[in-house]
Amino acid sequence: MPFSEFLEARRADCRALVAELSKQFAYVGILGSDIRSTRLGVDKNTSDIGEGGLTECGFVIKMHNGRAFFEYSLDDVVGDKSALAQRIVKSVRVAEALRSREIEVPVPHDEHLIQSFSRDCDFEEYSDEAVLETAKRVRDEILARDGRIVNAMVRVSPYTVSKLFVSQNRELDQFYSWVNAFCAAILADGEKMVMAHEEAYSNRMGEVLKTLPTRVSPLVEKAGKLATAKPITPGVYDVITDPSISGLIAHEAFGHGVEMDQFVKDRALAKQYVGKYVASPICNMHDGAAAAFSAASYFFDDDGVLAQDTEIIRNGVLVAGISDLVSATELGTAPTGNGRRESYKRKAYSRMTNTFFCPGKDKLEDMIASIKHGYMLFETNNGMEDPKNWQIQCTAEYGIEIVDGKLTDNYVSPVVMSGSVPELLQSISMVSDDFRVIGSGGCGKGYKEWVRVADGGPALKVKVKLA
């Protein structure tokens, strides 16, 4: 599968528009985006092949007038460039009342770089019919396993991404693909109803279609266990987090806190802690589109900055944050390749990509054995950041009680973990030697601007409030 023909056909138009707008603006960069996504799904009674929510095709132009930034999103850049440039300038006009408030930020660096990137994609080897057949087979197997299962859902969501970036000195293009899939079961046990799910994801459809059927047994077993789950007695516990929950902590506790557009706005306490201890000395954390391989791995970001691997915490000390082009320019630092947009219709912000704790030296079984009474928490449900005040809320789908160093059969669900970020990170007392980045998540900034992210890490032993 090749890079978008549409964007290729508009490459010269982008160059011409950059040249035209450069007559009025000190910096001009255009991002063209052509994302094709599909959603193939079945449940007990229905099937569905539709367009996925990521599908888009259009352009966004970023400009700098020597003081502030301007952006304009549009569907196409074809046609008379002089007329288009006039339309753009008119559309981003600032009302008279606000003109004196324009910020003064230096013009971004625009270093010379011309490069193409592409990743292998096997989607053309698998027809919609073949994907749907696998989904139906997995659904039927889930339904057949347990008479209490009243519905089963299977969904496969492949997408391809083509992006073109053209500025005065840079011309980059990239093509890559990804596929997320999940299967879920709704189980009714008397008055209680539970939903359990399992995931499969890869850049290769073949791998996902091979993995999905292997998730049926764990899914059905988990649904049965969740039907027995009780509410947790609120309190502070010794807790082991699975890689998903470790990733959620990395993401919510510190990932959002080191997004450097928050530094610019004095919205992140982390700004004052660079070079200082913020976590246990056995804690190390990274972020970067090039730091791991997942749905959040790209070659260059939406500002045309190459993907990187940023070390955020080294041995408990905060080393650096992550930035987009605008915040890096304002702070006088080099951008880290974390400028991301929900779509070409939205603004670029400093956003996480692959965010994770690094593996340690402990064995998971030793970690569990070290707990007299506590819980092991599994599977991210959701989380919420508070980078200014370093509070955290993370919700796990379920937990399993640990008694006298052993996992029991006692499930609790859901489990909300909350408290102070420094207390939580400083309470990390053991870190397992295994490691997994979960590659299918989504993340908002505040309550909007959704992008694909991944997070993970090893298992962590922490002390935290559960409710």
Partner 1 sequence: MTERIVTLLKADPRVSDYRINTMSRISYELFFVHRDLETVRSTETTETRVTVFSAHNGKLGDATFQVYSSYTDETIRSKIEEALAKAELVDNEPYALPENETGHFASDSNMRELALPELGAAIADAVFAADCYENGSINALEVFVYRDTVRVLNSRGIDKSEVKYLAMAEAIPTWNTAEESVELYECHNFTELDREAIRAEIDSKMREVRDRSLAKKPEEPIACRVLLAAPELREVFESIAYNLTFAGQYQQSNAYQVGDAIQKDPTGDRLSLTVRGKMKGSISSAAFDEDGFTARDRQIIENGVAKACFGSVRFASYVGAEPTGALRCMEVATGTVSREELAREPYFRCASMSGVQVDVYNDYLGGEVRLGYYFDGMREIPLTGISISGKLSEALASMRLSERETVYKSYKGPDFAVFEGVEIV
CB of 224 to partner 1, least distance (A): 15
105 binds partner 1 (CB under 8 A): yes
CB of 290 to partner 1, least distance (A): 27
Closest to partner 1 by CB, 88 or 431 = 88
Scanning 71-79, 115-123, 217-225, 309-317 for contacts with partner 1 by CB under 8 A, the matching segment is: 71-79
Scanning 49-57, 200-208, 368-376, 399-407 for contacts with partner 1 by CB under 8 A, the matching segment is: 49-57
CB of 449 to partner 1, least distance (A): 10
384 binds partner 1 (CB under 8 A): yes
Closest to partner 1 by CB, 202 or 413 = 413
Window 238 to 297, contacts with partner 1 (CB under 8 A): 264-267
Among the listed residues 99, 103, 33, the one whose alpha carbon sits nearest the alpha carbon of residue 64:
103
Which residues, including other chains, have CB under 8 Å from residue 392's CB and lie 6 or more apart?
A: 249, 252, 253, 383, 384, 385, 386, 417, 418, 419, 420, 421, 424
Closest to partner 1 by CB, 301 or 362 = 301
Closest to partner 1 by CB, 149 or 291 = 149
74 binds partner 1 (CB under 8 A): yes
Closest to partner 1 by CB, 225 or 436 = 225
331 binds partner 1 (CB under 8 A): no
Dihedrals phi, psi of 319, to nearest 5 degrees: -100, -50
Site size toward partner 1, by CB under 8 A:
78
114 binds partner 1 (CB under 8 A): no
Which residues, including other chains, have CB under 8 Å from residue 264's CB and lie 6 or more apart?
A: 327, 330, 331
CB of 452 to partner 1, least distance (A): 19
Q: How far apart are CA 53 and CA 60, in angstroms?
A: 19
57 binds partner 1 (CB under 8 A): yes
Binding residue for partner 1, selected from 15, 16, 55, 207, defined by CB under 8 A: 55
Helix 216-226 vs helix 128-145: crossing angle, to nearest 10: 40
What does the buried/exposed string (b/e) look like for 364-403 if buried means 16 or more CB atoms within 10 Å of the residue's CB? beebbebbeebbbbbbbbebebbbeebbbebbbbbbbbbe
6 binds partner 1 (CB under 8 A): yes
HSE-up of residue 317 (Cα within 13 Å, Cβ side): 6
Binding residue for partner 1, selected from 347, 351, 452, 461, defined by CB under 8 A: 347
86 binds partner 1 (CB under 8 A): no
Scanning 40-48, 155-163, 168-176, 199-207 for contacts with partner 1 by CB under 8 A, the matching segment is: 40-48
What does the buried/exposed string (b/e) look like for 91-106 if buried means 16 or more CB atoms within 10 Å of the residue's CB? eeeeeeeeeeeeeebe
Q: How far apart are CA 425 and CA 254, in angstroms?
A: 9
Window 417 to 446, contacts with partner 1 (CB under 8 A): 418-420, 446
48 binds partner 1 (CB under 8 A): yes
Window 134 to 193, contacts with partner 1 (CB under 8 A): 150-151, 186, 188, 192-193
Residue in the structure block whose two tokens are 């753009």: 88
Closest to partner 1 by CB, 333 or 370 = 333
Binding mask 192-221 for partner 1 (x = CB under 8 A): xxxx--------------------------
Residues 389/444/463/195 CA torsion (nearest 10 deg)? 150
Dihedrals phi, psi of 213, to nearest 5 degrees: -60, -25
Q: How far apart are CA 393 and CA 251, in angstroms?
A: 11
333 binds partner 1 (CB under 8 A): no
Helix 11-21 vs helix 81-91: crossing angle, to nearest 10: 60
Scanning 25-33, 54-62, 287-295, 331-339 for contacts with partner 1 by CB under 8 A, the matching segment is: 54-62
467 binds partner 1 (CB under 8 A): yes
Are residues 448 and 236 in contact, defined by beta-carbon separation less than 8 angstroms?
A: no
Pairing label, strands 317-318, 415-420: unpaired
